[in-house]
Each structure stands twice: as C-alpha cells, then as structure tokens.
Amino acid sequence: MLPKLNDADLKLLRLFATIVEAGGFTAAQTQLNISQSRISGMMADLEARLGMRLCQRGRVGFRLTDKGRVVYEASRRLFAGLQDFRAEVGALRGRLVGELSIGVVDNTISNPDSRLADAIGRFSARPNDVQLTVHIASPTELEQAVLQGRIQAAVGAFHHHAAGLAYQRLFMEEQTLYCGRGHALFARLPDTLTMKDVRSADYADRGYMEGATTRKPAELAAKATALHMEALALLVLSGAYIAYLPTHYAAPWVERGQMRPLLPRELAYHSLFELTTRKGTHRTLVLRTFLEDLRQAHAEISLRGRAGGPPTGVLA
C-alpha cells in the first residue's frame, strides 16, 4: 500500500529530483551541501518508504530505473501542484506567492533592446512573496533546463528549437566579426581587407552552433570553440583568433582600441532572441504574471517583418 506523504517524504523526493537533474550523487553533492554518504542514506530511506528501487548507482554510474523515471516525473507534477496551491492561496490575499526560476544567456545586459531587467522590475514591484532565481547559461543548457523543469522560462538566441518547447520572439541582437589588437588583420586598412583575408584567419565559434539552421554571412571553419561570450572575447583579445561577438558587448573594447570589426557591412548579421517555455505544462500564476510583464516590457520594440516572416537581417 502506498504510504501517505508527509513533510519528510517531500524532503526526500526533492532530494531525489535534485540528484536526477544533476546527473548523479556526486554532481548533486555540491548543490545539496551534504555528504555523499548522507545522500546515499536518504535515498535508501526514500526507496524503503516507497518500496521500490529508484536508481542504479555504483561503478556503472547513475541510472534511473523504469519505476524511478515514473516517480521522478510524478514528483515534478507534485511540486508544481504545491506551487499552484501556494499561488492560488496567495492570490486570495492579494499577493503572488511561490518560486520563479528563469534563465538567460550571458552578456545580454548591455543590449539596448533587451527589456529583461525592466520585466523583473515590473514583476518585483507587485505585492509578492516570490523566491526569484536567475540562471546564466548557454542556449543549449537553458533549453535542457526548461525541458527538465529545473527552470520555468529562458531568454536567449536559440538556434535549434528543441521539440517540447514553445518559442516566442522578443528582440534582436547584432553580431559583428572582430579581431583583437595584435592580430595580423588589426592594423590592416579597412579598404584593403578581403574575404580571403578573413577566411585565412583562425576563427573561434560558439560550441552550441554546430548543427544550427542559422547561417552566417560567411561560413568559417572553427579552430576554437567556446560556450560563453566572455570566453569568445578572451580568444579575440588574445590576438590569435577572430570571432563573432554582440556589437553592444564588444563596443567598450572597440572604443579602447583593443578590438576592431572586420568587414561589418558584409559580415554583420542579427540574431533573434526568444522566450522559451515548456509545452504542455500548467503555468503557475507566478509564471503567467512574469511572462505578461516580460511581454509588456518588450511591446514597444518593433520587429520588422513581424507579419510576413523573419525580421530583416534575421537568418532563418
């Protein structure tokens, strides 16, 4: 007979969900801030309480059993239901109550078309008791986090569009190709640069762009990869690589004479930034309210070609 759940059971289920989402006991240890032996003991308690084996662990690594996979999915629905309950009761008292976990790609803060900070300000100004968590990660990592239910929404330039996620356009970001001071192309006069020169330079690309449907104006073979803009900027500043960076992000280095754009008229392009959420899941009142604040914050931005396909400069 299935036991009645109590507070201790909920704590164990949350621990189990953290282990699953981290990919194993060792990876979850830092997040949980408890010893691995304690984690093992608590998992044994949960399995005994439920009367079933939830996961395989040991030398073969961490792997969910079939029953463990069902329990994990059921626990996610349970946690969402508890959040709904808190939110509905809070709404009766005129306050937003619960948790909100969102993600965004790095270094969008200086993009003048990004209104994410405005949206957070609008949301936070509402009467609320919401625990807000913001995660910074690559587009692929954010999509996986939304799919797995670890975060509720994410904003980024998503070049693959994962099945199971819904996407909504938000704003644009210009991308320009740069080299750093010390690079062989840095001192060249703009009128003397050619596409042959650019293609001969060592190029650093974003690791998550492999297999993407987006096509840049020039297809360059990557000699180095990075997952975050700061890492790409580091490679450019080394003087050894050229790379695409958001124009707004690179601007301070350009102004200081540490970077220069390469053939911007020919090679600059625009990325479409989107909001992504998981399909087919119930949206809590907290999430619905934040998404409305995000929509309102971006409503003033005009995306050219909104009614007739991709905006001008967006590469599909």
The encoded tokens of residue 125 equal 């100004």
pLDDT of residue 253: 97
How many residues are there in the chain? 316
Alpha-carbon gap, residue 233 to 243, rounded angstroms: 8
155 and 280 inside one domain: yes
Global pTM value: 0.73
Q: Which of 63-67, 111-115, 299-303 has the highest mean pLDDT?
A: 111-115
pLDDT reading at 151 higher than 60: yes
Confidence label for 94 from pLDDT (cuts 50, 70 and 90): confident
Q: What is the torsion angle, in degrees rounded to the nearest 10, for the CA atoms of residue 277, residue 283, residue 286 and residue 292? A: 60
72 and 107 inside one domain: no
Averaged pLDDT score across all residues of the chain: 86
pLDDT tens digits, one per residue of 271-306: 999 999 999 877 888 899 999 999 999 986 654 434
CATH number at residue 285: 3.40.190.10
The count of domains in the chain is 3
Of 76-80, 148-152, 192-196, 248-252, least confident by mean pLDDT is 76-80
Tell me the average pLDDT across 89-101.
80
182 and 52 inside one domain: no
184 and 246 inside one domain: yes
pLDDT of residue 212: 57
What domain range is 205 assigned to? 172-271
Domain boundary among 79, 96, 128: 79
Query: Does residue 316 form part of some domain?
Result: no
pLDDT reading at 110 higher than 70: yes
- Pick left, alpha or beta for residue 309 (phi over 0 → left; psi -120 to 50 → alpha; otherwise beta): left
pLDDT of residue 303: 44
Q: How many Cα atoms occupy the beta-carbon half-sphere of 133 within 13 Å?
A: 8
Do strands 203-206 and 222-226 pair parallel, antiparallel, or not at all (unpaired)?
parallel
Query: Does residue 309 form part of some domain?
Result: no
Query: Does residue 18 form part of some domain?
Result: yes
277 and 164 inside one domain: yes
pLDDT reading at 104 higher than 80: yes
Helix H or strand E encompassing 14: helix 7-22
Give helix then strand counts, H and E, for the chain. 11, 11
- Tell me if 247 sits within 8 A of 127, measured CB to CB: no
Domain boundary among 44, 79, 114: 79
217 and 260 inside one domain: yes
182 and 267 inside one domain: yes
Domain boundary among 48, 63, 79: 79
160 and 192 inside one domain: no
Alpha-carbon gap, residue 193 to 183, rounded angstroms: 13
Q: Which amino acid is at 33?
A: N
pLDDT tens digits, one per residue of 192-211: 999 999 999 999 998 776 65
